[in-house]
Chain A
Amino acid sequence: MKLAIALVILVALSLVFHFISPWWLTPIASNWGSIDDTIEITFWITGAVFVAVNLFLAYVVFRYRFQKNRRAHYEPENKKLEVWLTVITATGVCLMLAPGLVVWAKFVNPPTDAAELEVVAQQWQWGFRFPGEDQTLGKSDVRFISVTNPLGIDPKDPFAQDDIIIDNNELHLPINQAVKVWIRSKDVLHNFAVPQFRVKMDAVPGLVSSLWFTPEKIGRFDILCMELCGIAHHTMRGFVVVDSETDFQQWLSQQPTFASTQGGPVGDAVAGESLYALCSSCHGPRGEGNQALNAPRISGQSPHYLKRQLVYYKAGIRGRHPEDTYGQQMAAMAETLPDETAINDVVAYIQTLSSSTPAATLTGHRDKGQPLFVSCAACHGAQGQGRFSTSAPRLAGLQDWYLKRQLVNYQTGLRGAHAADNFGKQMTLMANMLSDEESMNNLLAYIQSL
């Protein structure tokens, strides 16, 4: 009796949950409404079976519950009933399968006028490439990948020269233009997924996969990696920004071509020396940093990171939060660097500086910090040396009080919350694993020992 009632209640609750819960498919922003339709069809058919089978089960459990004087009915088989049930089930299956295969055929055959672009996945970032004026993507190969050629494009291929390289996590697309997306990976499996577009596909090293869709809503949508790709899998995020055609063209025109990223100028340390004069007032003549002035050590820091931070400060991506007073100071200073050349020069000069490792100012247990650092090491390297490929700065030799402030800033949103700060977002997700000050001190004690 109790069981029969429980079954009825469970069926009823399932239905109520389905109809009133706020959790359902996120509003669609692409042409794949037909996929949502197949989900609806499947839902109604399976839902009907779920309700029918379980209500009948509840009825049977109630109606044929044990009674002393009753004897069960003896009927080994009932051919007619079994055949009927088989036929009805097969019909239901066909009703779900047929529309599914029809929509799949649409997915397998992209429209001929689809624009092409490429998504390149790596641990734990996204890169993108548009074919440029010749409408043809140049050849690529893993062996071409280097610091200046992150997507591994064949430098000798004439079709590659005008390809447009997007070496960050933000992709723009024009509205109402079908796009066929070629998907590559440099290292391990990843998956290019935008929930609002409904489609997803793995990025597989060694082959090129693809999918297609037409964005139909202007907006900013999350790209998520949906195939486990290592420790920082959950931080592998990106954005698709769907623009009007004109906005899109404007954005595209600001992106570098492959040719322009090759053999570009590297900074001039001599020119950088005079620019550094201003920096040295806080960061010190040898880039050693100064705790009294809240300035971190910058000598020995990874150049790619220094450059990105200066760009971020100038562009208001870092140091704009109203409570981030130190960041605001630095943003004002970065403003004094007029252009990219100046940034390159000053970074080149900082590379020539050396200073001694600062002393610890915090007390923590190194041994307790070590297991925590394993997750940091995935990007920052086992020795905290920083890693270009994961866009991660050097941690070893940075002052512990500075690192602590940054960790707290990430946790509280003073840093990394800006929409364009994709790496900051990754770091926020990671910094949140530290639940209290003690564990932060332990981790910093370990980093101090590197």
Chain B
Amino acid sequence: MPHVAIADQTSELHDPRSFITKYIWSQDHKVIAIQYALTAIGVGLIALVLSAMMRLQLGFPDTFDFITPNAYLQFVTMHGMIMVVYLLTALLLGGFGNYLIPLMIGARDMVFPYLNMLSYWTYLLSVLILLASFFVPGGPTGAGWTLYPPQAILPGTPGVDAGIVLMLVSLAVFIIAFTMGGLNYVTTVLQARTHGMTLMRMPLSLWGIFTATVLGLLAFPALLVSAIMMALDKLIGTSFFMPAIVSLGEQLDYTGGSPILFQHLFWFFGHPEVYIVALPAFGMVSDVLAVHARKNIFGYRMMVWAIVIIGFLSFIVWAHHMYVSGMNPVFGYFFATTTLIIAVPTAIKVYNWVLTLWRGNIHLTVPMLFAIGFIFTFTHGGLTGLFLGNVVVDLPLSDTYFVVAHFHMVMGVSPIMVLFAAIYHWFPLVTGKRLHDGLGKLHFWITFLGTYAIYLPMHYLGFLGVPRRYFALGSTDFIPESAQTLNASITVSAIVVGLAQLIFIFNLIWTLRKAKPCSPNPWGAASLEWQTPNVPPRHGNWGQKLPTVYRWAYDYSVPGITSDFIPQNISEDAVIRDAETSGDVDDHSDKGSHT
């Protein structure tokens, strides 16, 4: 590991001195991580407000004048795109990826710090371009977050002029930002691990982030080319996705293009995107569970392989989003099979999380509450995926609220539960302070129970056949009046959950301003990021000398050891043993360390 050798010899750390180089044009991965996280959370709050406006229309139709069908579709579209790409992807990889990778592998920083800085500012630019579309004539695009052509660029859809163009440009800029960040994360994990940090000693957070980044680097180009091709169709009249069309009575000049081609490209990105969000969440929740149950993660090797296999399989299931798209239905056999196969490694992950808790010593701290909440919501969301993945079962459910409920459980609520677990868990590392416990618990209970009250009933609207993306249902014979009651109750729950996030924001601000510093490793975590000489870690992370890693990240409650955890950088000789049982301890920790 040449990089490590160089990093070790650094005799003098060049700390940034001015406010600007320290906090604005910063090249420190920790500052960049916080910049990413704050931007993502900020834009996510906008998306949260948009969802509240959608829910107001659905729950109480014809009550709010500013929600027209036009505006409604704009809310739907921007909510979806912001949440998936600009919040979840950016926060999990740009935020947590940036913060945790160098600290968990024992590096001083990312291997390309300047590129890292550029990545954030490019991301910010993409967010600004996206938000600008709210202020152009015609407003943002309302084509749905999938942006399916032809309708995304034809009249009859909201924001068909500047709105869609800004969306496509913003996506392209985002992908450039992601590529700069992503190459950096992958290179850093592969090249800059410290002495003794083998791949199979990495915490699962890193495996999740690393695999997700690889997926992103392979998947985002498909979205980039489709954005470019659609922009060309829109701006200079090419026909990549546009067949001959009569739009609102007018013959257009397009000819020969294929709308389905776009869908294949989009979902070739879009399905891995689900795992770009899910895998970091899988990884981080594993670490939170292990730390707070004082127990090693169960079946570590199986967990690593499950992440890698899921990552691979995620590239050959994309057309399960297209069972009723008009593509050749024979594809259905293949994609249903691959999709259901993914259930196996995913189920194993769920079992292993539960088995990690089994025979543990479970501290129900706030991060742990969110992590266990995640197991529940993810199990639910994963199981409903088996309906939609099985091609023929998808026929009645496709394009209904069942789909909306499913993907919100599996890639909305579940990753966000992990994000909260992660924020509550790593906050002391980042700031040196622990978030307020009582407020955290209140936040958890409202969020956990509230989201289930939103999404469980929503599946049943789907069974009923209520279509998604409808501004209003009106009177439709097969839909009973009671569906409206259900919709109203879903809206009330959604508003409550939305408002509960203010508790979280208040907690962040209150803790930063008023709370007293906590101990440097308050949860007693064994992984490397908690073992820095200063907490929060300073520029360069490790002081003069890089740490050396002797074991995996999960040596909790090792028999015969006095402490209930052994940090990764403690050598065998330095471990303090219970005097009488020291004989057979070596055995256990050897097994555990997977050298």
* Contact across chains for A228 and B144 when beta carbons are under 8 A apart: yes
From B118-126, B167-175, B273-281, B479-487, give the one contacting chain A: B479-487
Given the complex, which residues of A lie within 8 Å of B343, measured CB to CB?
89, 93
**How many A-B contacts are there with CB distance less than 8 Å?**
381
Whether A66 contacts B473 by the Cβ 8 Å rule is no
The answer, among A7, A85, A220, A439, for a CB contact under 8 Å with B376, is A7
What is the bound-complex CA distance between A393 and B84, given in angstroms? Answer: 40
Q: Which one of A54-62, A330-338, A339-347 is at the interface?
A: A54-62
User: Are B337 and A97 in contact, with the CB atoms below 8 A?
Assistant: yes
B293–A142 touching, CB < 8 Å: no
Of B42-50, B62-70, B430-438, B502-510, the one contacting chain A is B62-70
Q: Which of B85-93, B349-357, B492-500 contacts A (4 or more CB under 8 A)?
A: B349-357
Q: B65 contacts A230, CB within 8 Å? A: no
Shortest beta-carbon distance, B68 to chain A, in Å? Answer: 4
Residues of B193-227 whose CB lies within 8 A of A:
none
A219 to B61, CA, bound (A): 29
User: Are B392 and A107 neighbours in the complex by a CB distance under 8 Å?
Assistant: yes
Within 8 A of A (CB), among B305-341: 324-326, 329-330, 332-333, 336-337, 340-341
A77-B151 contact in complex given A42-B393, A234-B470, A374-B68, C-beta closer than 8 Å: no
Chain A residues 285-310 with CB under 8 Å of chain B are none
Alpha-carbon distance A209/B258, docked complex (angstroms): 13
- Chain A nearest CB from B441 CB (Å) reads 9
Q: Complex Cα distance A203/B143, Å?
A: 17
Given A205-B259, A226-B398; A57-B157 close (CB under 8 Å): no
A50-B379, A201-B324 known; A227+B399 contact, CB < 8 A: yes
Of B62, B336, B564, most buried by chain A (CB within 10 Å of CB) is B62
Is the beta-carbon distance between A108 and B249 smaller than 8 angstroms?
no
- Proximity string of chain B (359-378) to chain A, C-beta cutoff 8 Å, 1 when within and 0 when not: 11111100001001001100
CB atoms of A64 and B557 under 8 A apart? no
Residue A420, interface by CB 8 Å: no
**B65–A435 contact, CB under 8 A?**
yes
* Least Cβ–Cβ distance between B230 and chain A, in angstroms: 13
Q: How far is the CB of B59 from chain A (nearest CB, A)?
A: 14
- State how many angstroms separate the Cβ of B335 from the closest Cβ of chain A: 11
Chain B residues with Cβ below 8 Å from A54 are: 376, 379
List, in ascending order, chain B residues with CB within 8 A of A436's CB: 65
Determine if B260 is an interface residue (Cβ-Cβ < 8 Å).
yes
A229 to B588: give the CA distance in the assembly, Å: 61
**Which of A72, A89, A207 contacts B557, CB < 8 Å?**
A72
Given A3-B364, A77-B302, A429-B474; A42-B350 close (CB under 8 Å):
no
A238 to chain B, nearest CB (A): 12
Residue in contact with A191 in the complex, picked from B65, B143, B324, CB distance below 8 Å:
B324
The segment out of B18-26, B103-111, B412-420, B457-465 that lies at the interface is B457-465
Q: Is B380 an interface residue (CB 8 A)?
A: yes
Residue of A nearest to B469 (CB): A228
- Distance in angstroms between the alpha carbons of A387 and B244 in the assembled complex: 20
> Are B477 and A66 closer than 8 Å at their CB atoms?
no
**Contact at A82–B348, with CB atoms within 8 Å?**
yes
State whether the Cβ of B525 lies closer than 8 Å to any Cβ in chain A.
no
- Decide: A206 and B354 in contact? CB cutoff 8 A: no
Q: Which residue of A lies closest to B391 (CB)?
A: A104
Among B69, B246, B333, the residue within 8 A (CB) of A430 is B69
Residue B238 lies at the interface, judged by CB distance under 8 Å to chain A: no
Name which of B3-11, B127-135, B382-390, B541-549 contacts chain A.
B382-390
Report the bound CA distance from A302 to B243 in whole Å: 30
Residues of chain B in range 416-473 having any CB-CB distance to chain A below 8 Å: 448-449, 452, 456-457, 460-461, 463-465, 467, 469-473
Do the beta carbons of B460 and A21 come within 8 Å of each other? yes
Task: Decide if the interface of chain A is mainly helix, strand, loop or mixed.
Answer: mixed
Which residues between 192 and 223 of chain A lie within 8 Å of chain B, taking CB atoms?
A: 193, 195-196, 198-207, 209, 220-222
Q: A46-B386, A387-B248, A429-B474 are in contact. Are A82 and B150 (CB under 8 A)?
A: no
Residue among A39, A70, A230 making CB contact with B393, cutoff 8 Å: A39
Question: B185 on the interface (CB 8 Å rule)?
Answer: no
Stretch in A23-31, A257-265, A272-280 with 4+ CB within 8 Å of B = A23-31
Cβ of A360 within 8 Å of any chain B Cβ, yes or no, is no
In the complex, are the beta carbons of A96 and B68 less than 8 A apart?
no
The smallest C-beta distance from A72 to any residue of chain B, in angstroms, reads 4
Select the stretch in A154-162, A182-190, A317-325 that faces chain B: A182-190
**Across the interface, do A53 and B354 meet the contact criterion of CB distance under 8 Å?**
yes
Q: CB-CB < 8 A to B538: which residues of A?
A: none
- A1-55 with Cβ < 8 A to chain B: 3, 6-7, 10, 14, 17, 21-26, 32, 35-36, 38-39, 42-43, 45-46, 49-50, 53-54
**Complex-state Cα separation, A167 to B478, whole angstroms:** 24
Inter-chain pairs besides A23-B457, A93-B340, A195-B464, 6 sampled, C-beta below 8 Å: A103-B392, A104-B392, A108-B330, A191-B324, A230-B151, A235-B474
**Mind listing 27 A-B residue pairs with CB under 8 Å?**
A17-B457, A25-B465, A45-B386, A46-B387, A53-B354, A60-B357, A60-B360, A61-B372, A70-B361, A72-B293, A72-B564, A75-B298, A76-B296, A76-B299, A85-B347, A93-B340, A96-B386, A142-B251, A187-B246, A193-B465, A202-B325, A228-B148, A231-B73, A374-B68, A387-B249, A432-B61, A433-B68
Sorted nearest first, the 6 A-B pairs with minimum C-beta distance are A206-B243, A389-B249, A195-B465, A209-B326, A188-B151, A73-B359
Residue positions of B touching A, CB distance < 8 A: 61-71, 73, 142-144, 148, 150-151, 154-158, 243-251, 256-260, 293-296, 298-302, 324-326, 329-330, 332-333, 336-337, 340-341, 343-344, 347-348, 350-352, 354-355, 357-364, 369, 372, 375-376, 379-380, 383-384, 386-387, 390-393, 395-400, 448-449, 452, 456-457, 460-461, 463-465, 467, 469-474, 476-478, 480, 482-483, 486, 554, 556-559, 564, 588, 591-592
